[in-house]
Structure 1
Amino acid sequence: MSALALSVLLCLVSALCYAVGALLQERVAGAARQSAVRGTLRSGLWWAALSLNSGGALLHVLALRWGPLSLVQPLGALTLVFALPLSALGHGSGGRGSRVGRAAWAGVGLVSGGLAALTALVDIGPQVLLSARDQSVIAGLGLGAVALSAVAAAGTRSAAVRGAALAAAAGVAFGVASVHVKAVVAGWGVLPVGAEAVGLCLIVVLAVAGLAASQAAYRDAGLTVPLVTTTLVNPVVASLIGVAVMDDGFHHGAAGLALVVPAAGAAAVGLLLLVHDRAGREGVGRGERSGSVGVAAGVPRDLPGEAAEPVNHVPCLSAHGKRSHETTQAGQIPDARGGQSCRNSPYVSQ
C-alpha cells in the first residue's frame, strides 16, 4: 500500500471515529442535563466517546505523517458525512437521533464544499520551529478567543446560537491545539526539552478546553450545529495561524487568494442554514412539549400541591377597586357575576 493510500485510509477511519464519538457525546449530554458534570463523568458512553475522539486524533496525526495537509484536512469534513446519516438512522430506530431536513443537508453540502476548497487552497510552506515563547503567545490568544466565545454564549437565550458559540470556542481550541501538535512534531529532537514540554502542556490545556466546550454545545444544541461549527472553525483557525506564523500560503498566488473569499462565504451560508434549521425545530419542539402538558385537557400547569384554576375564569371585579369595601353579612365580598364569593380566590368562573 502506498503512503498516499494509507493516509486516505487513516483519514476515513479517523473521521468515522470522530463521528461516532460526537453522537455518543450528544447522547450523554441529553441524558445528563440536570447534573451535567457528575452525570457526564459517571457515564460509560462519555468515556467511550473520549476514547473514540482520542483515537481519531491519533489517526489524524498519523495521516499527516504520510499525507499532505492539503489532502488530510479536507477529508476531515467526512465526519459530517458519517455523523448525520448515523444520527438520522438512530432517529428512525427509536433512538435519540435528530431528524435531518433538506435545509440541513444543503447546509452540510455548502460547509463541506467550502471547507474542502479552503483547506485545499492552503500551500504548506517549509517547517517553522516555534519557541516556547511563541507557543505560549499563540495559546494565550487562542484561550482568550475561547473565553470570549463562552461569554457570548452565556449572554444569549437561543439554544442554537449558544451551541454555535460554544462549538466555535471548541473549534478554536482544537485548531490552536493542532498547530501546537505540528510544532511539537516538527521540533522533536531539535528544540530544547523545555520548549517541547511547554508545547505538550499547552496541547493538553487546549484539548481539555475544547472538549468541555464541545460537550456543552452538544447539551444545548444537539448534534448538527455544534459538529458543523467545530468542523468549520477548527481548520480555518489552523490555516490562518499557519499563514500568519508558519509561512504557509495559498496555491496559485493571487488567483488562489481570490478563491478563498467565495469558499469562506459558501461555508458561512451553510452554517447559517444549519443554525436556522435547528432553531426552527427547537421552536416546534417547545410548542409540542407545552401543548402536551395540561393544555389539551383545558387545565393549565400549576405548582406542585396547588389545585388548578378553571380555564374559563375572570378576575373577581369586586375584589378590586371602589367596591372592595362592600361585604355581606357572612363577611364575604359579593361578586357581580352570579354572586360568587371572592373571599378565597381572586378569580371566579364564567
Structure 2
Amino acid sequence: MSATLVAVALSLISAVAYAAAAVAQERLASRTTDAGMLRLLGRGAWWWSVGLNAGAALLHVAALKYGTLTLVQPLGALTLVAAVPLGARLAGRRVSTVEWRGTALTLAGLSAVLVTASGPAPDDVLSVPQALAVTGAAAALIGVLARPGARPGLRHASASGFASGVASALTQTVTVAVTDRSGPLLSGQVIVVAVLVAALAAGGLLLSQTAYRGGLGAPLAVVTLANPIAAAVIGLSLLGERLQGGAAGLLLAGAGAAVAAWGVVTLSRSAPEPAAVESEQHPVAAVLALEPRPAPYEPSLLPRRPAPTPPASGHLTPL
C-alpha cells in the first residue's frame, strides 16, 4: 500500500473520531455558561470528548508521517462527511437530498485536491526559529480573533482552526524528526516544537469549546475550512511542498478546494430550525447523545380533580 493511501485511510478514521468529539463538545457547551466553563473539568462527558480528540489527534499524527500537509489537512472535511450516514441511521431517518448534495460536492472537491497534492512522504522540517515565528504569528492572529469580551461564535471557530492547522504543521516536524534515525531522539528542536504543539492544541480545543456554544454546524464548518488553509500556507511556503501538475495542477487544486468548501457549507446548513422534531436534527449532532432529555409534558398523566359532591336530598341548591 502506498504512503498516500495510508495517509488517506488514517485521515478518514481520524475524521470520524473528531466528529464524535465535536458533538460531545457542542452538547456540553450548549448547557454551560461562561461562569461554569471550569466545571466541565469535573464531568466525565467532557473528558470523554477529550479522549476522542486525543485518539483522533494520534491518528492524524500518523497520517502526517505518510502524507504531506497539503494532502492530509484538507481531508479534515471528512469530519462532516463521515457523520452524515451514521447520524441519519442513529436518528432513524434517511439522508436528505441536501446532505447528499453537500457530501457529493465535498468528496468531488477533495478528489481534485488529492490528485494534485499526492506526493512522497514528507522529509523536511521547520527549524526552531521558523517554528517560533509561525507560532508567534498564529498567536497574534488568534488574539485578534478571540479578543476578551468578544461573543463566542465564528471568530473563535476561525481561531481554533488556525491553531489546529499550525499545530499540525509543527506536529509533522516532530514526527519526521523523531522517526529520522540520523539524529538524537529528543533533540532540542523536538522538545521546543513539542511544547509549542501542546500549547496550540490546548488553545484550539478551548477555542472550539467556546465556539460551539452557538451551535455546531457553522462553527464546525469554519474550523474545518480554516485548519487546512493555515497548514497549506506553512507547507507550501516553508516545508518545500509542491502541487503536482504545475500551473494546471494549481488551478485544479484551487477549484477542488472551492468545491469542497461549498460542500462543507452545504452540510453545515442542512440543520433544521430549532422547532423541528428531535429525530431531524443535524446529522453530526445525532452521532452522540450524552444526556437524556426530559419526557414531554402530558396533561393526561396529571391527577384529576375530584368531581363536586352533589347536595344532600331535601336541601335547595342556592342560585
In structure 2, what is the equivalent of residue 304 of structure 1? none
Alpha-carbon distance in structure 1 between the residues aligned to 2:136 and 2:38: 29
**Aligned residues between the structures:** 272
Q: Does residue 142 in structure 1 map to residue 134 in structure 2?
A: no
- 1:45 CA displacement: 1.1
Contact 1:153/1:163 (8 A) holds in 2: no
- 1:35 CA displacement: 4.3
SS in 1 for 2:248: helix
In structure 1, what is the equivalent of residue 84 of structure 2? 84
Alpha-carbon distance in structure 2 between the residues aligned to 1:259 and 1:153: 41
In structure 2, what is the equivalent of residue 23 of structure 1? 23
In structure 2, what is the equivalent of residue 235 of structure 1? 228
The within-5 A match list for 1:331-346 is none
If the length of structure 1 is used for normalisation, what is the TM-score? 0.65
Q: Does residue 182 in structure 1 map to residue 172 in structure 2?
A: yes
For each residue in 1:79-115, what CA deviation from the matched residue of structure 2 results, as whole angstroms up to 9, or x when unmatched?
222323444455559xxxxx98654553454345434
In structure 2, what is the equivalent of residue 226 of structure 1? 219
- 1:212 CA displacement: 0.8
In structure 1, what is the equivalent of residue 194 of structure 2? 200
Contact 2:109/2:259 (8 A) holds in 1: yes
Alignment equivalent of 1:256, drawn from 239, 249, 252: 249
Q: Quick one: percent identity of the two aligned structures?
A: 39
In structure 1, what is the equivalent of residue 127 of structure 2? 131
Unaligned 5+ runs, structure 2: 278-319
Moved over 6 A (4+): 1-5
Q: Does residue 247 in structure 1 map to residue 240 in structure 2?
A: yes
Contact 1:29/1:36 (8 A) holds in 2: no
- 1:142 CA displacement: 1.4
More relative contact order in 1 or in 2 (CA 8 Å, sep 6+)?
2
Could you tell which deviates more after superposition, 164-173 or 125-134? 125-134
- State the one-letter code of the partner of 1:60: H
For each residue in 1:41-97, what CA deviation from the matched residue of structure 2 results, as whole angstroms up to 9, or x when unmatched?
22211111111111111122223334566764454433222323444455559xxxx
Alpha-carbon distance in structure 1 between the residues aligned to 2:111 and 2:74: 4
Could you tell which deviates more after superposition, 11-20 or 49-58? 11-20
| RMSD (Å) for aligned C-alpha atoms | 3.5
Alpha-carbon distance in structure 2 between the residues aligned to 1:111 and 1:173: 23
In structure 1, what is the equivalent of residue 163 of structure 2? 173
Alpha-carbon distance in structure 1 between the residues aligned to 2:92 and 2:38: 30
SS in 2 for 1:250: coil
Alpha-carbon distance in structure 2 between the residues aligned to 1:187 and 1:4: 20
- 1:238 CA displacement: 0.8
Residues 12 and 243 (structure 1), Cα distance of their counterparts in 2 relative to 1, 3 Å cut:
closer
- 1:122 CA displacement: 2.7
For each residue in 1:16-36, what CA deviation from the matched residue of structure 2 results, as whole angstroms up to 9, or x when unmatched?
221221221122112224644
The within-5 A match list for 1:248-287 is 248-273=241-266, 281=273
Residues 6 and 132 (structure 1), Cα distance of their counterparts in 2 relative to 1, 3 Å cut:
closer
In structure 2, what is the equivalent of residue 333 of structure 1? none
Could you tell which deviates more after superposition, 208-217 or 81-90? 81-90
Alpha-carbon distance in structure 2 between the residues aligned to 1:100 and 1:217: 26
